[in-house]
Amino acid sequence: MYRKTLVTAALLAGLSLAGTAAVAQTTPAPAAPAAPVAPVPSQVVVFDIDQIVAGSAAGQDMNNKLRAIQAGIEAELQSEVNALQAERQRLGAVPTSQTGTAEFQAAAERLQLRERELAAKLRRVEAELQATSQVAEALFVQAVRPAVDEVMRQRGALVSVQTGTAFTWNPGIDITTEVINRLNATTRTINVQRMVFNAEGQLVPMGGATAPAAGAQGGQPLPRAPQGPAPRN
């Protein structure tokens, strides 16, 4: 998912996006599920949401779309960053004897204003990317929920638990692979839309479409593992 480095890396580097390849980095993919294990009768089952994201067509589709949105935003910002860098270098090359002139002072003030404006834009874009990722994740959970419910029904289970919240478990109650197979049979894409701030300061889908409903339908939301700053892959 979205890695929170676009703004911080740019600001810490003096509004330079030269190193934004790091933004597209992904953490190593979760380990592949172990060899199939005979199901163990149990009213409680577990699943690994990270493996479901990495191993399902829908999860890969979601991550690919999020990466494409992020890459597009970086491309939009790069020209502005390059222009500011060029102006900073130009002013930095002015002899000290000329830095006290009204012309130089005016140019320096204009540069500072442009830098503040870009910094504000970067913060806004970061919030938009976070919202885009959150909405996409909620839609993915929505798609996963029926697959989990169906596997639970087939297993005769009453409770499902995310592996990130379980201390230990018998491999025979892990339904991750079954959920992936079920999800691949029913849902292969996620409707990822870029979220942007409108004139009223509200986050809405770009283009003005209604934001997709978030959250799982029926029952309680699927348990989620604690999220770090890096995208799932």
Residue 229: predicted pLDDT: 37
Residue 231 is assigned to a structural domain of this protein: no
- Its domain, for residue 175, covers 6-22+37-205
Query: Quick one: pLDDT at residue 233?
Result: 41
Which pLDDT score, from 0 to 100, does residue 149 have?
Answer: 96
In the prediction, which pLDDT does 30 show? 57
In this structure, is residue 78 part of a structural domain?
yes
Report if residue 151 sits inside a domain: yes
Q: For residue 76, what pLDDT is reported?
A: 86
Asked, for residue 28, whether it belongs to a domain, the answer is: no
Write out the chain's pLDDT in tens, 233 residues. Answer: 544 444 434 433 433 333 333 333 444 555 555 567 888 899 999 999 999 999 999 999 999 999 999 999 998 899 899 999 999 999 999 999 999 999 999 999 999 999 999 999 999 999 999 999 999 999 999 999 999 999 999 999 999 999 999 999 999 999 999 999 999 999 999 999 999 999 899 999 987 655 554 433 434 444 443 343 334 44
Residue 92 lies in a domain: yes
Instruction: Decide if 110 is inside a domain.
Output: yes
pLDDT at 158: 96
pLDDT in the model for residue 112 = 94
pLDDT of residue 36: 72
Structurally, the chain folds into a number of domains equal to 1
Contact 141, 220 (CB under 8 A): no
Residue 181 maps to a domain: yes
- pTM, two decimals, is 0.73
Residue 124 counted as domain residue:
yes
